[in-house]
Amino acid sequence: MKVVINDANILIDLVKLDLIDQFIELNFEIHTTDFVLAELNDDQHEIITKISNSLSLNIISTNETSDLESMFILQNNNQGLSIEDCSVWHYGNKLSATILTGDRKLANCARNSGLEVRGIIYIFDQLLKQGKLDFQQAIIKINTLYQINQRLPKKEIDKRVALWKMNKIV
């Protein structure tokens, strides 16, 4: 089973799209950090906490001084990353996990350190491959997502939509 760790932007997008239930049904061991949880608004926090109580998503609590020190070192050595970003990167390393993020700076830093990094489009691919979403739903949801977040790679979204219209998965 693939181990993944989520940054806040992924969780926020999944909640906004009402896809969080399908996401937690994926064949992944899903994690996030207490720092990421603190970034969420009250409604998002409540949804993610409820899911974590069902054991579908593990919220990693940072209790060890060595973990905090490692996060602060990452932050000090990588200008522009928040402590929340560094918590995801640190535990990604610790768990040998794939980082799920839409944050370019975090993605580049984590990728350069040897970690696999994926984004929301990858999650859509997995939702389709694992039968948690059908093609029509995927097209509607990804178009809605692009309306919410126009920083997403339009060419990749258009490529996926074209394939999904032909009932093909990447």
Span 107-163, pLDDT tens digits = 999 999 999 999 999 999 999 999 999 999 999 999 999 999 888 999 999 999 999
What's the CA gap between 97 and 90, in Å, rounded? Answer: 10
User: What confidence score (pLDDT) does residue 54 get?
Assistant: 83
pTM for the full model?
0.95
What's the CA gap between 36 and 40, in Å, rounded? Answer: 7
Q: Give 56-99 pLDDT, tens digit per residue.
A: 899 999 999 999 999 999 999 999 999 999 999 999 999 999 99
Neighbour tally for 106: CB within 10 Å: 24
Q: Give 6-23 pLDDT, tens digit per residue.
A: 999 999 999 999 999 999
What's the CA gap between 100 and 136, in Å, rounded? Answer: 24
User: What confidence score (pLDDT) does residue 70 get?
Assistant: 97
What's the CA gap between 16 and 47, in Å, rounded? Answer: 11
CATH superfamily label, 2-120 = 5'-nuclease (3.40.50.1010)
What stretch of H or E contains 6? Answer: strand 2-6
Amino acid at 139: I
CA 37 to chain centre: 12
User: What confidence score (pLDDT) does residue 9 get?
Assistant: 96
User: What confidence score (pLDDT) does residue 1 get?
Assistant: 84
User: What confidence score (pLDDT) does residue 103 get?
Assistant: 95
Q: Give 26-37 pLDDT, tens digit per residue.
A: 999 999 999 999
Confidence class for position 105, pLDDT limits 50, 70, 90: very high
The residue ranges of every structural domain in the chain are 2-120
Confidence class for position 41, pLDDT limits 50, 70, 90: very high
Residue 170 predicted with pLDDT over 90: no
